[in-house]
Amino acid sequence: MKAFVLIFLALFTSCFSQQAKVPSPTPTPIPLIPVLEDQIPEPPKDEKKFQPAQIKESVEKKLENYLYGREIVPSIIVNNTEGDQTKINLENTIVEWIRGEKETKIKINGDLFSLKDQKTINDFENGRKEDVDFANDWEQIKFYKFGERKIIGISMGNEPCTGIGCSVAFQLIYDLKTKHKTFFGTYRIEREVNLYDFKNDGTIDYLGKTYIGESDGVAKEVSNLYKLYPMDEKGIFHLQLDKNQNPYFIKRFFEAESYSEIDKKFEANWIEEIK
């Protein structure tokens, strides 16, 4: 009887274990879909961000940048801030300003000369040259050392000035080696002496400036004309012409009333492209 009970318990336990071990259903795997790089959408582009700004440089700024890299830097600059300076020492080069009632004279290292009967070599205004003896006071002196040459540049005006006379200035360029004197004049344009080496060939260049406008005051626009004057070995400036015998020039246009520059009317026949 005891053996029978043991056999029964063994059979009962075996059946229960088989039922308990019924395996659970296996989950269906989710297939992986490969994604290629060219299928990944790109973020939208900001068109304004990717387009370079189209900024048109003004004629004034363009010329300023062009001239800056070609200008000859003076060794000394003296401004007549006191208004009564008559003797200036520039590294043992003595410049004396002698103002008289009838004429004004200048002496440079003992070389005495008068402004009387001197004329500008450039057209001063509307195609005419001007008498230099209108100047009776100096405004600024520049002393240049360029290669083996030493140059004195003096800008001059009239004191006391009235009306349109305040817009008039003259520029003397004096070669210390040859003692040659060259006079330029300006009206309503830059007054200072500025020397350049445009071709980087050791030649001293100057920009002669001419004001072109109507004297009756009714013109809607005026212009400033710049022409190229290189200096030769004798210290003499000559107007430079192109192969067709036309002068090299830069021409700027301004509104007569406001003197605002009219960029779209800029003209030039120059030795190289002005960028």
The full set of domain ranges for the chain reads: 58-269
- Across the beta sheet with 93-99, the strand order is 87-90, 93-99, 104-108, 111-114
Handedness of CA 196, 199, 202, 207 (dihedral sign): negative
Q: What is the pLDDT of residue 37?
A: 54
pLDDT at 5 > cutoff 60: no
The tokens describing 17, both together, are 């274990």
Q: What is the pLDDT of residues 154-168, one digit of tens each?
A: 999 999 988 999 999
Q: What is the pLDDT of residue 40?
A: 56
pLDDT at 248 > cutoff 50: yes
CA separation for the pair 33, 179 (Å, rounded):
92
* 25-29, 126-130, 189-193: the lowest-pLDDT one: 25-29
245 close to 208: Cβ distance less than 8 angstroms: no
213: Cβ contacts below 8 Å, ≥ 6 apart: 125, 126, 188, 219, 222, 223, 256
Say what the pTM is.
0.78
